[in-house]
Amino acid sequence: MFLLLSINSSINAQQTTKDNTSKSTPEGTAQLWGVIDGLSIEGLVEGPATATVPLQIACVFEYTEGDIFNPPALPAAINGMVHLDKALNGQITELRKSGKFAGHFLETLLIEPPKGAIKARQLLLIGLGDRNKFNADLMISVGRVAFREAARLSVKSFAIASDLKDAGIDSPTALVAANITKGIIDALHTQLYLKDKKLYSGSPVVKAVLLAGPSFFITAGVGIKAAIDSFKN
């Protein structure tokens, strides 16, 4: 609880701009926000279809008709989930609409896209549950699952896109990014504990990349840095 309060206080102290008025950052911009216990945590202005990583993670809510295509979802031109769905010939929408992937909270589905469809070799969907019950604290658990699945799949690095704005959720960008980061670091520490106790022998995950849109990159960075710093204090 103290850690959460510390992160929230730091974010509130540093965040001076609203999400919708943040300065736009050029696509492709990358920034190392910090390193903790051998894990580099980076930010990248990129969509989930075009980020160059072994494992791309994308988050989706339980399906509602047209949820990523109609307002208040971001316009298609800047909607990373729409681009990802299009790159896979609409299969993400089909999986969700048919109930084959229901998107229940923390439900996962691993997809191996056709070569060249997206930059990542593997795509992991993580469910966010009912959009009407969403709150930013849920993203701590999402961050934990993201890191643990990356470790289980033995990848050196992964990227995660919360895709909340793509789904039309007016979420607090800095807090969401902070909570994903907190979950990732929590899971990292568990993995290091297991390794120390000789209960895990896999290769370490050395880089986590948090994707953000051009208008949200700087604000997300505030949250990411606050989360990293909270583990160092």
The per-residue pLDDT for 22 is 56
What letter represents residue 50's amino acid? T
Query: What residue has token string 């589905």?
Result: 109
**Residue bearing tokens 């000789």:** 198
Left, alpha or beta for 232 (phi > 0: left; psi -120 to 50: alpha)? alpha
Alpha-carbon distance of 117 to 36, in angstroms, equals 33
Count of other CB atoms within 10 angstroms of residue 46: 25
Query: Does domain 2-14+29-232 correspond to CATH entry 1.10.10.10?
Result: no
CA distance 178 to 225: 8
| pLDDT given at position 127 | 99
Give residue-wise pLDDT tens across range 149-180. 999 999 999 999 999 999 999 999 999 999 99
d(CA 6, CA 12): 10
Q: Is the pLDDT of residue 19 over 70?
A: no
pLDDT tens digits along 188-207: 999 999 999 999 999 999 99
pTM beyond 0.85: yes
- For residues 42 and 208, the answer to whether their CB atoms sit within 8 Å is yes
Alpha-carbon separation of residue 223 from 4, 22, 76, 141 (angstroms): 12, 14, 26, 16
Q: What's the rounded Cα separation, in Å, for the pair 181 and 109?
A: 21
Give the start-to-end residue ranges of the domains of the chain: 2-14+29-232
pLDDT in tens, 116-132: 999 999 999 999 999 99
Q: What is the pLDDT of residue 233?
A: 72
Categorize the per-residue pLDDT at 52 as very low, low, confident or very high, splitting at 50, 70 and 90: very high
Q: How far is the C-alpha of 85 from the C-alpha of 80, rounded, in Å?
A: 9
